[in-house]
Chains A and B, each alone.
Chain A
Amino acid sequence: MSHSAAHAHEAPTSTGIDHKKLIMWLFLASDCMFFGTLISTHLLYRKLYPTGFTDAEGHQQFVQKLFDIELTSFSTFILLMSSFLMALAVSAMHKGGQLKSFRRNVLGVIVFGLIFLGCQVYEFTHFYHQGLTVQNSVFGSTFYVLTGTHGTHVAIGVLWLVLLYFYSFTGKLGGHVGALDVEVAGLYWHFVDIVWIIIFTAVYLVEYLGPDGIWGNGLPPVPGVTR
Chain B
Amino acid sequence: MSHAAAHEAPDPALLAEEARRYHHFITLALWLAVVTGIEIVLIYLPLSAGILLTTLSLLSAGKFFAVILWFMHLIYDKRLLFWLFMSGLVLAFATFAAMILLFDSDRVDTKWFG
Once the chains bind, are B71 and A22 in contact (CB under 8 Å)?
A: no
Once the chains bind, are B68 and A194 in contact (CB under 8 Å)?
A: yes
Q: Does A76 belong to the interface (CB within 8 Å)?
A: yes
Once the chains bind, are B13 and A29 in contact (CB under 8 Å)?
A: no
Q: Does A106 belong to the interface (CB within 8 Å)?
A: no
Q: A33-B92, A47-B105, A77-B33 are in contact. Are A87 and B71 (CB under 8 A)?
A: yes
Q: Which of B40, B77, B89, B100 contacts A44 (CB 8 A)?
A: B100
Q: Which of A9, A193, A201 contacts B60 (CB 8 A)?
A: A201
Q: Does A171 belong to the interface (CB within 8 Å)?
A: yes
Residue ID in chain B nearest A38 by CB atoms: B92
Task: In the complex, identify which listed stretch (A114-122, A151-159, A202-210) lies at the interface while the others stay far away.
Answer: A202-210
Majority secondary structure of chain A interface residues (helix, strand, loop or mixed): helix
State which size class the interface on B falls in: 35 or more
Q: Does A222 belong to the interface (CB within 8 Å)?
A: no
Q: Does B109 belong to the interface (CB within 8 Å)?
A: no
Chain B residues numbered 9-44 whose CB sits less than 8 Å from any CB in chain A: 9-11, 13-18, 21-22, 25-26, 28-29, 32-33, 36, 39-40, 43-44
Task: In the complex, identify which listed stretch (A55-63, A125-133, A141-149, A174-182) lies at the interface while the others stay far away.
Answer: A174-182
Once the chains bind, are A36 and B91 in contact (CB under 8 Å)?
A: yes
Q: For the complex, what is the distance from the CA of A31 to the CA of B17, rounded to whole Å?
A: 30
In the complex, what residues of A have CB within 8 A of residue B100's CB?
Answer: 40, 43-44, 47
Number of contacting residues on A, CB 8 A?
Answer: 73
Majority secondary structure of chain B interface residues (helix, strand, loop or mixed): helix
Once the chains bind, are A1 and B76 in contact (CB under 8 Å)?
A: yes
In the complex, what residues of A have CB within 8 A of residue B67's CB?
Answer: 83, 190, 193-194, 197
Q: A1-B76, A178-B6 are in contact. Are A29 and B14 (CB under 8 A)?
A: no
In the complex, what residues of B have CB within 8 A of residue A69's CB?
Answer: 40, 43
Q: For the complex, what is the distance from the CA of A89 to the CA of B83, rounded to whole Å?
A: 26
Q: Which of B17, B33, B43 contacts A208 (CB 8 A)?
A: B43
Once the chains bind, are B72 and A76 in contact (CB under 8 Å)?
A: no
Once the chains bind, are B63 and A8 in contact (CB under 8 Å)?
A: no
Residue ID in chain B nearest A2 by CB atoms: B13
Q: Which of B11, B15, B36 contacts A73 (CB 8 A)?
A: B36
Once the chains bind, are A201 and B39 in contact (CB under 8 Å)?
A: yes
Once the chains bind, are B92 and A17 in contact (CB under 8 Å)?
A: no
Nearest Cβ in chain A — how far from B56, in angstroms? Answer: 5
Q: Does A111 belong to the interface (CB within 8 Å)?
A: no
Nearest Cβ in chain A — how far from B111, in angstroms? Answer: 19
Q: For the complex, what is the distance from the CA of A55 to the CA of B97, rounded to whole Å?
A: 32
In the complex, what residues of B have CB within 8 A of residue A202's CB?
Answer: 60
What is the 8 Å Cβ interface bit string for chain B, positions 1-13, against chain A (1 contact, 0 not)?
1010111111101
Q: Which of B6, B40, B60, B105 contacts A97 (CB 8 A)?
A: B6
What is the 8 Å Cβ interface bit string for chain A, positions 88-122, against chain B (1 contact, 0 not)?
10110011110000000000000000000000000
Chain B residues engaging chain A, CB cutoff 8 angstroms = 1, 3, 5-11, 13-18, 21-22, 25-26, 28-29, 32-33, 36, 39-40, 43-44, 49, 52-53, 56-57, 59-60, 63-64, 67-68, 70-73, 76-78, 80-81, 84-85, 87-89, 91-93, 95-96, 99-100, 103, 105
